[in-house]
Amino acid sequence: MREPNPLKLAPSILTADFGHLAEQIHAAESGGADYIHLDVMDGRFVPNITFGPMVVRAVRALTTLPLDVHLMIEDADPYLRDFIDAGADILTVHVEACRHLHRTVQMITQLGRKAGVSLNPGTSVEAVREILPFVDLVLVMSVNPGFGSQRFIETSTAKLRRMRRLMDELAPLADLEVDGGVDVHNIADVVQSGANVIVAGSAVFNSRAPIGENLARLRAAAVVE
């Protein structure tokens, strides 16, 4: 049996207070975040626009944590180098948004960064089968991408199990990341289903409790008995 990859918490700054981004990132780092997850949206692949390499560069200057950059953009190829120059450590592209997915993944790898592939809730695990031997990470979306604070789609846990099984065969060392609607109530289920990199936006950056406290609660709830 494969040893599970270590659990990593990747707070998404999508729901952070951008007026106080530096404090919020420092609080996430001192609260035990493993990565900072950055959601890049282009208003074409998803119905929302966020930020590009400039904000990635600004975040790079605020933390030494690895930057996990989730590209929800069409035709990412011309921008890959810009994101890497800005400080991205992991670049994840969507299978639905890449015409030549293998080439895109190869470009990221050749630029010396970790390459991830993401799939939407409506996309089958089989859609990434051929690319699995080439990626460092698979990101299963558990909401439709575009917005924070959405409800976790319950069938995502079964999908994570199917994905981890396929990865054990074709990409045994790769990480399995889950993104969307993860909170203290379902984090144990996603971990038990094979996810080891956990994105959480609204469960970390909210007005209910301090960032460090939210991270500690998530980590405690993630422990699989």
| CA neighbor of 68 nearest in space, from 40, 95, 88, 82 | 88
- Residue with Cβ nearer ligand DX5 (134 or 147): 147
Q: Per CB under 5 A, does 175 bind Zn ion?
A: no
Distant-in-sequence contacts of 56-59, Cβ < 8 A, 24+ apart:
56/83, 56/86, 56/87, 56/88, 57/86, 57/87, 58/21, 59/13, 59/21, 59/25, 59/87
Vertex 74 angle, CA 70 and 79, to 5°: 70
Q: Per CB under 5 A, does 179 bind Zn ion?
A: yes
- Residue with Cβ nearer ligand DX5 (125 or 143): 143
| Nearest distance, CB of residue 203 and ligand DX5, angstroms | 6
By CB under 6 A, name the binding residues for ligand DX5: 12, 14-15, 37, 39, 70, 143, 145-146, 148-150, 179-182, 199-203
The residue whose Cβ lies closest to Zn ion is 70
Question: Is there a contact between 178 and 156 (Cβ–Cβ < 8 Å)?
Answer: yes
Query: From the candidates 34, 42, 179, 189, which is the catalytic residue?
Result: 179
Taking residue 182's Cβ as centre, other Cβ atoms within 10 Å add up to: 29
Question: Residue 39 catalytic?
Answer: yes
Query: From the candidates 34, 39, 136, 189, which is the catalytic residue?
Result: 39
- Residue with Cβ nearer ligand DX5 (48 or 170): 48
Which residues participate in catalysis according to the annotation?
A: 39, 179
Q: Rule CB under 5 A: which residues touch Zn ion?
A: 39, 70, 179
